[in-house]
Structure formats: structure tokens, C-alpha cells
Amino acid sequence: MRVLVVGGAGYIGSHMVKMLLDSGHDVITLDNLSSGHRDAVLGGVFVEGDLADINCLDKVFTEHHPEAVMHFASFIQVGESVRKPDIYYRNNVTNTLNLLDTMLKFDVKKFIFSSTAAVFGEPDYVPIDEAHPNRPLNPYGRSKLMIEHVLADYAKAFDFRSVCLRYFNAAGADPEGQLGERHDPETHLIPLILQAASGRRENIQVFGRDYDTPDGTCIRDYIHIVDLCAAHLAALDYLESGGESDRFNLGNGSGFSVQEVLDAVQKVSGRSVKVIDGPRREGDPARLVADAKRARSILNWKPIFTDLETIVQHAWQWELKCSDRVAKE
Ligand SMILES: NC(=O)c1ccc[n+]([C@@H]2O[C@H](COP(=O)([O-])OP(=O)(O)OC[C@H]3O[C@@H](n4cnc5c(N)ncnc54)[C@H](O)[C@@H]3O)[C@@H](O)[C@H]2O)c1
Ligand SMILES: O=c1ccn([C@@H]2O[C@H](COP(=O)(O)OP(=O)(O)O[C@H]3O[C@H](CO)[C@H](O)[C@H](O)[C@H]3O)[C@@H](O)[C@H]2O)c(=O)[nH]1
């Protein structure tokens, strides 16, 4: 199939482009490189352009005739979204509407959307299934939930079929070592600890040790990037074979605490990391773990890299490459 990957130069999108190409699909990547990297797009057609630019979208659809769209492009930092809700709603909502308008105009009606566990807010129970109420705590989470509502309405009105994938904590890197996480600034736990292990960062701060969890640190569901991308491929098959619009929680179903992640990094890297105990970060629930049974049964998806050490091992291999590159510069 010809798949347009919007945001394909970013962390998750770039791994997706690689997997689509490896699976024999034709890929067009559209990215404005606001946080992505041109050299992370390993093949297919690359168009540098912005979702705010409707003429650019028109041109992409006219020239490349995509049959389905995967949409990864958005702003992604929870804290920043609280300080700058205007740019979050513009990029994550308005610009997504531009993309959907263009798809309708060109009669392209298969869409896979990067949603997030942030649509749930503070959970009533874990693991979190799709029936759990949606009470996002910040503009980032609300912007994603808004698009989920838009997509549900488009399904009824326009026979527009979509799959919303609510990722929990995307982690790890390409097992072949070609790609990995390169956010700037980096805010995610695993790459931050790895940077502390490689010496690119002095220390890592643990945000709270007084949570109601066995070791007092927060528990998250880290899902390997390859498993995440495999779920998108499964969602593409699902839509291709006539599946109705739906939404799925994506995690590997096991939670790991911040302390367990720290231990895994030190074990895998063989280096010790300087840890500073800090206060809780505002808005962090104690425990976020996905119930991904629906994705397993309906999409026929099965995560492979569910073991924390493997996730950390792949990310460590990438961190060594990055720290080497920085040292040479
Ligand atoms: N990383 C995670 O743990 C996580 C968790 C849940 C959901 N998500 C969602 O997954 C998606 C991808 O996340 P990521 O970690 O790869 O982020 P990322 O910042 O690495 O990638 C986003 C990409 O979109 C591009 N982009 C942003 N706005 C654009 C625009 N207006 N026009 C064209 N390109 C634009 C950026 O240049 C970048 O390449 C996001 O939608 C995010 O909300 C990520
Ligand atoms: O320097 C740090 C960074 C993080 N943490 C802790 O590590 C855990 C993971 O934090 P991340 O920032 O890596 O990830 P989040 O769970 O906050 O956020 C993730 O899940 C969210 C949904 O809830 C959004 O989707 C978001 O994009 C995605 O990164 C949290 O308990 C956090 O408090 C630290 O202790 N120190």
C-alpha cells in the first residue's frame, strides 16, 4: 500500500517508516523537521512541509496518491502544553483537521492516529482498558482526546475509518541500531538515565519516592518501539480488511517502577548512575499500566520485546552511538 507517514522524521515515525519499507509498502514522509531529523528517514519519498500549509498537503496528495495515512506529528510535552496551550491546540488539533480535510477532499479514508495514555488522566483502576473514563489532566491529553472525538464523528458522517492507538510509554530503539530516540530537550525517563550512564548528563533526578507502590517510585508501562510500530501495521491490515473505526490501548501490560528502570540501566550498561531524589512532578499518577487485550484480540497483535532489559539494551546501543557522535563533534 502507499502510506503517508506524517511526522515520520520523529522518534516513533522514523521507526514506522523503516518497518513499512521493510514490509514492502511505499512510503511518503511529510515532516516539518520542527523536532524530527531528516537523516532518520531511511527511505521512500521525503517531503519537508508543515501541516499548517494546506497547499503543501494538496500537493502531497496530488503527486503521491496515498491510500492510507499514519499521523505521528504533534507537540508532545505535557508540561509545555500547560504553559502554551495555544500552540498545542493549533498544532495538535487545527493542523490535524487540515490533514483530515485534505484526506476527505482526495477520498482517502484510512487513518491511524497516535493517541496517548494521557487521555485517561489519574486512573480509577489499573490495568487501564478502553472502557476507562477519559479525564485528561492537561492540554496535551485534551488535544489528543479532541481528535479522538472528531474521528468518531467522521466515522458516522463520512464513512471515514480510523484507528486511535493510545500509547503508554514508548521506549527502546531499532534493534539493528540505525534509529533511536533523539528528542531535544529530552524529557523521557529511559533516555535521560542512559545519558547519565554514558556521561552526557551528570545525574538523573527521581521524581518522588513516596508513591503508593512497592518501592515508592512511579510505575509505567514501557512498550518497545518495534512492538508499537507492529501494532500500526496490524491496524493498517485491520482497516484494509474492512475493520470499523476503533481505539486501542497499547502497552506491554507489565509495569516497571522508576527504580526498576534505574537498576536495569545500570545492569545493562555496567555503569553506575548518579541519582538525586527530587520531589514529585506535578500531574504524575502513581501507576499507569495498559490493558491491551483488545489490541491483541481484534488487531491480532502480540508484543515481542516485553522484557525491560531488552528494551533498555536496544536504547543503550543507540545512546552509545549518539554519545560517540557528540564526542567527535
Ligand atoms: N513518545 C512517547 O512516549 C509517546 C507516548 C504517547 C503518544 N505519543 C505520540 O506519538 C507521536 C510521535 O511521538 P514522538 O515521540 O515520535 O515525537 P517526535 O517529536 O519525535 O515526532 C513528531 C514529529 O512530528 C513532526 N511535526 C510536528 N509538528 C508538525 C507539523 N505541524 N507538520 C509536520 N510535521 C510536524 C516533528 O518534526 C517530528 O518529526 C506524537 O503524536 C505523540 O503525541 C508519543
Ligand atoms: O527525569 C525524570 C523523568 C521522569 N521521571 C519519572 O519517570 C516516569 C516516566 O516519565 P516520562 O516523562 O518518561 O513519561 P510519562 O509517563 O510522564 O509520559 C508518557 O506518557 C504520557 C501519558 O501518560 C504521555 O503520553 C507522554 O507523551 C509520554 O512520554 C514518571 O514517573 C516520571 O515521574 C523521573 O523520575 N525523572
Cell 502513581 belongs to 286
pLDDT value at 324 more than 90 = no
**Would you state the pLDDT for residue 289?**
97
222 catalytic? Reply is: no
- Closest-approaching ligand to the CA atom of 225: 1
CA 122/CA 140 separation, integer angstroms = 14
Run of H or E including 246:
strand 246-250
DSSP three-state, residue 251: coil
Give the phi and the psi of residue 114 in degrees, each rounded to 5: -80, 100
**Would you state the pLDDT for residue 214?**
97
Q: Where are the domains of the chain?
A: 2-171+224-250, 189-220+253-328
pLDDT value at 325 more than 90 = no
Which residue of 47, 72, 115, 220 sits with most ligand 1 atoms within 8 Å of its CB, as the best mutation to test the pocket?
72
pLDDT value at 203 more than 90 = yes
CA 162/CA 113 separation, integer angstroms = 7
Ligand 1: centre distance to CA 7 (Å): 6
Q: 27: closest CA among 60, 66, 72? A: 66
Helix and strand counts by DSSP (H, E) for the chain? 11, 14
- Homologous superfamily of the 2-171+224-250 domain (CATH): NAD(P)-binding Rossmann-like Domain (3.40.50.720)
pLDDT value at 151 more than 90 = yes
Question: How does pLDDT run across 78-103, given as a tens digit for each residue?
Answer: 999 999 999 999 999 999 999 999 99
Ligand 2: centre distance to CA 129 (Å): 20
User: Is the predicted ipTM greater than 0.95, yes or no?
Assistant: yes
Which residue of 114, 147, 189 sits with most ligand 2 atoms within 8 Å of its CB, as the best mutation to test the pocket?
189
Q: Is the CB of 258 under 6 A from ligand 2?
A: yes
Which residue of 11, 35, 78 sits with most ligand 2 atoms within 8 Å of its CB, as the best mutation to test the pocket?
78
Q: Which CATH class is domain 189-220+253-328?
A: alpha beta
DSSP three-state, residue 143: helix
Beta bridge partners of 46: 29
Ligand 1: centre distance to CA 76 (Å): 6
CA 133/CA 123 separation, integer angstroms = 8
CA 166/CA 147 separation, integer angstroms = 12
- Closest-approaching ligand to the CA atom of 287: 2
CA-based radius of gyration for the chain:
19
Mean pLDDT lowest for which of 261-270, 277-286, 289-298?
277-286
pLDDT value at 172 more than 90 = yes
Residue of the CA atom closest to atom 1 of ligand 1: 170
The CB density around residue 242, as the number of other CB atoms within 10 Å, is: 7
CA angle 188, 190, 192 (to 5 degrees): 65
Question: How does pLDDT run across 214-272, given as a tens digit for each residue?
Answer: 999 999 999 999 999 999 999 999 999 999 999 999 998 899 999 999 999 999 999 99
